[in-house]
Structure 1
Amino acid sequence: MPDVDLMDIDLATLAYLAGSSANDAIVKRLHELGHKGVRMSHGYVLQHLVESEPKVGELGELLGVTQQSASKQLLELERLGYVKRVPDRVDGRIRRAQLTPRGQRLVEDSRRLRRELGVHGNDEVKRALVGLLVSTGGAEKVLKLQVVPDA
């Protein structure tokens, strides 16, 4: 196998590889902390439940996916005990997604692990990655929290 100089890897590939490695490490640690079954894609759903209680259709719009895809993700998170669906306060026929206490712990554990692993990076690295996002047209989706990896 030939020697590889990591500095010879282009920024986009290096960013992808580093991000994937960091995310894999975080998911592994979450599993070790008792969050069995959680996947990286679940985090993209949970981020929308931290400060709101969307309906399935609203969640799909927020994520930029179909209602069926959002429903599938919620069902998985319900089965794992991180999310529950509750009646709307005004119209009891409508169900809204809400974090359970276990789901809130998952969010807190994920945030703590990201801090501990230093995945927030330094300003120079962040500027390079933000520049890459902007130049490739990906910034708008990120700002709208519509980034969802393949499930």
Structure 2
Amino acid sequence: MTVKPDVETDLSLLLTAASAGADEAVRRKLEEAGFGDVRRSHGYVFQHLLDGPLTIGRLAELLGMTGQGASKAVKELEGLGYVLRTPDPEDARARLVGLTERGHHVVSEARAARGAFRDEVRTVLGEADTDQLLRSLQTLAVHTGGLDLLLRRKLKPAGGR
């Protein structure tokens, strides 16, 4: 396949295209596993609930959004069966939001789907090139600050995805 000259050296566009392909591969795997209703943006909520239930206020703070925005996201995820609101035993006025069994299962399936994508890349590029790609992407992610944001669960959705 030939690549347009203005694209073949545009690292940002190539990374965006590769990321979009990876996202689509993960989405297909999740759909095959019965999670066709989950969106990438849901993962930003899930990641903050992995360590246990949170109040809407705390979740909103971690997501960098308003309480109203977080409530809307939680309501959607609750309707899909991924989260559940329960009374806060320490504050009768508050409710906690936590992952359901289905919520934990979709997180596990997403991790497996990302692993399957990595394996697919190994098949296409070979072991050595894939290892080099991973090292290079890790270095770039550190340099741009993206890895730190990811590890601190502060990475925001790109373009509203």
Common fold: TM-score over 0.5: yes
Deviation at 1:45, TM superposition (A): 0.9
Aligned sequence identity (%): 41
1: CA distance, partners of 2:70 / 2:9: 35
Q: What's the CA shift string for 1:83-114, capped at 9, x where partnerless?
A: 01111121232111111111111111111111
Aligned residues: 150
If the length of structure 1 is used for normalisation, what is the TM-score?
0.83
Q: What's the CA shift string for 1:40-78, capped at 9, x where partnerless?
A: 110111011111211112112212222222222211111
Tell me if the contact between 2:8 and 2:14 (Cα under 8 Å) persists in the aligned partners: no
Q: What's the CA shift string for 1:99-142, capped at 9, x where partnerless?
A: 11111111111111111221798443233333333444444433
Provide structure 1 residue ranges, at least 5 long, that are not aligned to the other structure: none
Q: Larger Rg: 1 or 2? A: 2
Provide structure 2 residue ranges, at least 5 long, that are not aligned to the other structure: 123-129
Alignment pair present for 1:126 and 2:125: no
1: CA distance, partners of 2:92 / 2:12: 47
Show the counterpart of 2:51. Answer: 51
Secondary structure of residue in 1 paired with 2:21 = helix
Structure that is richer in helix per residue: 2
Secondary structure of residue in 1 paired with 2:69 = helix
| 1:68-107 map, 5 Å | 68-107=68-107
Secondary structure of residue in 2 paired with 1:48 = helix
Deviation at 1:19, TM superposition (A): 1.4
Kindly provide the amino acid, as one letter, of the partner of residue 19 in structure 2: G
Tell me if the contact between 2:27 and 2:36 (Cα under 8 Å) persists in the aligned partners: no
Secondary structure of residue in 1 paired with 2:49 = coil
Show the counterpart of 2:3. Answer: 4
Secondary structure of residue in 2 paired with 1:127 = helix
If the length of structure 2 is used for normalisation, what is the TM-score?
0.79
Give the CA RMSD over aligned residues. 2.6
1: CA distance, partners of 2:114 / 2:14: 19
1: CA distance, partners of 2:70 / 2:142: 27
2: CA distance, partners of 1:139 / 1:61: 20
Tell me if the contact between 1:26 and 1:113 (Cα under 8 Å) persists in the aligned partners: yes
More moved, 133-142 vs 27-36: 133-142
Show the counterpart of 1:36. Answer: 36
More moved, 52-61 vs 123-132: 123-132
1: CA distance, partners of 2:87 / 2:42: 22
More moved, 56-65 vs 129-138: 129-138
